[in-house]
Structure 1
Amino acid sequence: MARDVQITFDCADPAALAAFWAEALGYRVQGPPPGFTSWDEALDAMGVPAERRNDASAVVDPEGTGPRLFFQRVPEGKQAKNRVHLDVRAAPGLDGADRMAALEAEADRLVALGARRVERHEPAPPLGAGHIVMTDPEGNEFCLD
């Protein structure tokens, strides 16, 4: 039986990181529970104090096919390289110069949103199509593939 998957990020600022990834992936910040018109209204009803309202956030695929991304506040900062990372498929079906141009354009867009470019890997046929290593605003590595 296939399972749904949620990808969880430990972070310092769940709302900001959720906003970055929503924009990066074409996702949206998950809306409040049914019966509430806003998260503030829902969190008021749940008795969550103001200082705890950025403890978590989530983004979802508006078409319902991609995994939910969940962001949770943790006290410690990032310590080392990620053992798991996302590959953002920014140039499906393209190769060579067209692929790298599409990846460069996406890298520029994401840098404007707060990402950082780490390094470019040139195409190395037959198996290496080329990719760009990036980090999100909190330093989590991901690849534009």
Structure 2
Amino acid sequence: MTREIQMTFDCADPARLSAFWAEALGYRLQDPPGGFESWDQALEAFGIPPENRNDASAVIDPEGSGPRLFFQRVPEPKQTKNRLHLDVRAAPGLSGDERMEALEKEAARLISYGATRLQRHEPAPPLEAGHIIMADPEGNEFCLD
């Protein structure tokens, strides 16, 4: 039996982090429930006070093939290195200098949305194609691969 998965991020600012990951992955903000033109309108109707309207956010793959990413506000900050991270496949099929140039271009684009570059790993054939370790706006590590 095939199962759907959702990846959940604990974070301080769900709106900001969901906007970042939507940009990084080509995802979009999940639509509000039926009958509502916006999330603000829906949350108002549900009686959610303004100070709680950034408690959660979700982004989805517009093609419906990737997992839903859910962002929930938690009070504590990130403590240590992630035990699980996302690899953003920004240069599939490329190798050598062409691959690293594509990764550098994507790193620069994501930095403009709040990411931080942490480390570059050069290609080391035959098994290591090279990648760049990044952090999202809240410090969660991910790789450009």
TM category (shorter chain) comes to over 0.9
Q: What RMSD in Å do the two structures reach over aligned CA positions?
A: 0.5
State TM-score, norm by structure 2. 0.99
What CA distance in whole angstroms lies between the structure 1 residues aligned with 2:111 and 2:68? 23
Shift of 1:91: 0.1
**What does residue 81 of structure 1 align with?**
81
**What does residue 53 of structure 2 align with?**
53
Shift of 1:83: 0.1
**What does residue 4 of structure 2 align with?**
4
The code of the aligned residue for 2:74 comes to V
**What does residue 118 of structure 2 align with?**
118
> Gaps (5+ residues) in structure 1?
none
Partner-residue secondary structure (3-state), 1:42: helix
The code of the aligned residue for 1:95 comes to S
> Gaps (5+ residues) in structure 2?
none
What CA distance in whole angstroms lies between the structure 2 residues aligned with 1:10 and 1:95? 34
Partner-residue secondary structure (3-state), 2:120: strand
> Which digits, 9 at most, give the CA deviation of each residue in 1:46-94, with x for residues without a partner?
1111100000000001111111000000000000000000000000000
Partner-residue secondary structure (3-state), 1:105: helix
What CA distance in whole angstroms lies between the structure 1 residues aligned with 2:107 and 2:23? 13
Q: List structure 1 segments (4+ residues) > 4 angstroms apart after TM superposition.
A: none
What CA distance in whole angstroms lies between the structure 1 residues aligned with 2:55 and 2:87? 26
1:35 equivalenced with 2:3 (yes/no): no
State TM-score, norm by structure 1. 0.99
Higher mean C-alpha deviation, range 49-58 or range 39-48 = 39-48
Q: Percent identity?
A: 75
The code of the aligned residue for 1:119 comes to Q
The code of the aligned residue for 1:83 comes to R
**What does residue 23 of structure 1 align with?**
23
Shift of 1:128: 0.4
How many residues are aligned here?
145
